[in-house]
Amino acid sequence: MNRLWGELELLRVTDPPLPAPQKRFRAVYDYNAADEDEVSFQDGDTIVNVQQIDDGWMYGTVERTGDTGMLPANYVEAI
């Protein structure tokens, strides 16, 4: 019985970690990309898979278009 219990514990310990919750933001203004590494979006668009680059910029994907790139942090709010 100890051997079986040990195998069950091993399975629990080695299971892959759960994915981190996806960071989602909503655009509060329209934005037209100024560079090729930026994304355009419209007020109300949802931005997913967001990563903070610095205080002023983020990197994410516009859910409506599927476009991925940099975006200004002050044009979106967390949801």
User: Can you give the residue range of the structural domain that contains 68?
Assistant: 19-78
Q: Is 34 a domain residue?
A: yes
The pLDDT assigned to 11 comes to 54
What pLDDT, in 10s, does the model give residues 14-43? 667 766 667 899 999 999 999 999 999 999
Give me the CATH number covering residue 69.
2.30.30.40
Q: Is 63 a domain residue?
A: yes
Q: How many domains, in total, are found in the chain? A: 1
- Residue 9 Cα distances to 12, 18, 35, angstroms: 5, 17, 51
What pLDDT, in 10s, does the model give residues 4-17? 555 555 556 566 77
Q: Is 12 a domain residue?
A: no
Q: Is 9 a domain residue?
A: no
Q: Is 23 a domain residue?
A: yes
Q: Is 14 a domain residue?
A: no
CA distance linking residue 14 with residue 78, whole number of Å: 33
